[in-house]
Amino acid sequence: MFQPPFCPYRHCARRDDPRPGFCVRHGTYKAACRAHAVQRYRCLSCQRTFSRQTFRVDHHDHRPDLNPRLFLLLASGLGLRQSARNLKLSLSSTVRKFRKLARHLRRLNLSLRRPLEPSAVRLHLDEFETYEGERNTRPLTVPMLLASESRYILWSQSATIRPRGKMTAKRKKAVAEAEKRHGPRRDCSRSALQRTLARGAELLGAKARVVLETDEKTSYPRLAREAFGERRLEHRRTSSKLVRDTFNPLFPINHEEASARVLIGRLRRESWLVSKKRRFLDLALQLHMAYRNLVHRRFNRDEESPAQLLGFVPRRLTPEEVVSWRQEWGRRSVHPLSRSGVCVAEFGARAAA
C-alpha cells in the first residue's frame, strides 16, 4: 500500500520534515485513463490535498500508457515522427512527451547514483562530433565519460564548437550567413569537458585513485588534473591512430560511442534525423543514458545493467519503472522500484543492509 513520503507542497512544514501519520486518506477519484481509483490524501499540517498521482511522472498526462512505449521507441533510435505514427499520437504531443520524459530521466540519472566504492576507478573519456541544424556550419562536440568496467555512462552533454576542416568559398559563405542568423559560434568544448569530468569526480571518494584513459588531445592532461587532482590521477593516453579493435585500450569508449550512434537516431550519420537545437540533443542523451545504464544489459551475455554492477540499483529496471515516480526532490523522491513510497536514499540503505 502506497504511503506518501512527504507533503508535496513547497511551503508546508511536512515537506522537509514528514512525520508518521502527517496525512490522512481523503477519498478517491476515478481517472479516465486508469483502471483503478486513485487515492487522495489530506495533509494535517497545511490541510491541502494531493494524491498518489502527485508523485507520479505521468501526473497530468492524457495518455500515461504510452510513456514506457515512447521511451523504448526513442531509446531504440527511432525518430520523433515515426514514433508519433507508431503510437498514433500527434507530432506535437510526442515532442512534448519526449521532453517531459527526458527531463525526468535526467533527474533519475542523478538521484540514483551513489559514491563509487572501490579504491581505484577506471574511467574512459572521449568526444564525438555531431551538429545542430546544419552540419557544415553549426558543429557540436559531445564529451562522454564512461566507467570502464561496468560501462556506466557517467555523463554526456553537448557543446558548440567552431566549424573546421576544409573551407571552400561556398562553405565560408554559409558559415558567415549562419553567424549572421545565430550569432558568432563559440568554442565551448573546454567548459563541457570540465562539467563532464566534474560529474565523475563528484562520485569518487576522497582517497580513491583514478585511472583515466583518453586519446592524445593536448587539452586533456590539464583538464584531468584540475578535475581529479594530480596525486591520485593516473592518466593513460592512446593515439587515436591506433587500430580501433577490441585490443585498443580505448575500445570501451569507442564501442559505447558506436552504440550511441545507433541508439540515438539523431546521432546516426547520413540520416534524415537531426537535432534542430542543442538542448534537445542533451535531452536525447539523458534518455539514452537512462536506457543504457538502467534498462539495458551491460553486454548481451550479461544479466546485469551497468547501474546494477555499480550497486546503484538491485536489478535491471523495466521501461515502466524508469518512467514511474517523479524525481524532482532529489534522493527524497520515491525510488523507481518502490511500490509503497520509500524514498531513494532509504531504499538504497535498506538494500545495502
| Interaction residues for Zn ion, span 243-282 (CB under 5 A) | none
- Residue 339 CA to residue 352 CA, distance in Å, equals 18
Q: How far is the CB of 34 from Zn ion (least distance, A)?
A: 24
Taking the complex as a whole, the smallest distance from the CB of residue 17 to Zn ion amounts, in Å, to: 11
Q: Which is nearer to Zn ion, 2 or 9 (CB)?
A: 9
Least distance to Zn ion from the beta carbon of 58, Å? 23
- Beta carbon nearer to Zn ion, 49 or 248: 49
Within 3-22, the residues that bind Zn ion by CB under 5 A are 7, 9, 12, 14
Taking CA 321 as the corner, what is the angle to CA 315 and CA 324, rounded to the nearest 5 degrees? 145
For residue 42, what are the β-bridge partners? Answer: 24, 49
∠ Cα 68 130 108 (to 5°)? 30
Stretch 37-76 residues interacting with Zn ion (CB under 5 A): 43, 45-46
| Rounded least distance, CB 325 to Zn ion, Å | 19
Please tell me the count of residues contacting Zn ion according to CB under 5 A. Answer: 7
Inter-helix orientation angle 278-290/91-112, to 10°: 60
- d(CA 244, CA 252) in angstroms, rounded, equals 10
Amino acid, single-letter form, for residue 331 = R
Closer of 10 and 170 to Zn ion (Cβ):
10
- Nearer to Zn ion by Cβ, of 23 and 283: the residue is 23
Nearest-Å Rg of the Cα atoms of the chain is: 22
Q: Which is nearer to Zn ion, 14 or 278 (CB)?
A: 14
Q: How far is the CB of 9 from Zn ion (least distance, A)?
A: 5
220 within 8 A of 214, measured Cβ to Cβ = yes
Residue matched to cell numbers 527531463 = 103
Q: How far is the CB of 334 from Zn ion (least distance, A)?
A: 17
Nearer to Zn ion, 5 or 306 (CB): 5
- Kindly give, in sequence order, each residue whose CB lies less than 8 Å from that of residue 83, ignoring residues fewer than 6 positions away: 70, 73, 74, 89, 94, 98
Closer Cβ to Zn ion, 8 or 200, answer by number: 8
Residue 208 corresponds to which cell in the numbers above?
580513491
Instruction: Give the residue with the Cβ less far from Zn ion, 4 or 68.
Output: 4
- Centre a 10 Å sphere on the Cβ of residue 276 and count the other Cβ atoms it contains: 11
CB of 14 to Zn ion, least distance (A): 5
Least CB distance from residue 228 to Zn ion, whole Å?
43
Site string for Zn ion, 157-186 (x = CB under 5 A): ------------------------------
Per DSSP, 336 falls in state T
DSSP letters for 174-206: HHHHHHHHH-PPP--HHHHHHHHHHHHHTTB-T
Instruction: Give min distance, CB of 341 to Zn ion, in A.
Output: 15
**CB contact at 8 A, 332 and 345:** yes
Positions 81 through 120 that interact with Zn ion (CB under 5 A): none
Strands annotated E in 171-310: 209-214, 233-237
Strands 159-160 and 139-147: antiparallel
Helix (H, G, I), strand (E, B) or coil at 123: strand
The residue (of 14 and 122) whose beta carbon lies closer to Zn ion is 14
| Positions in the binding site for Zn ion (CB under 5 A) | 7, 9, 12, 14, 43, 45-46
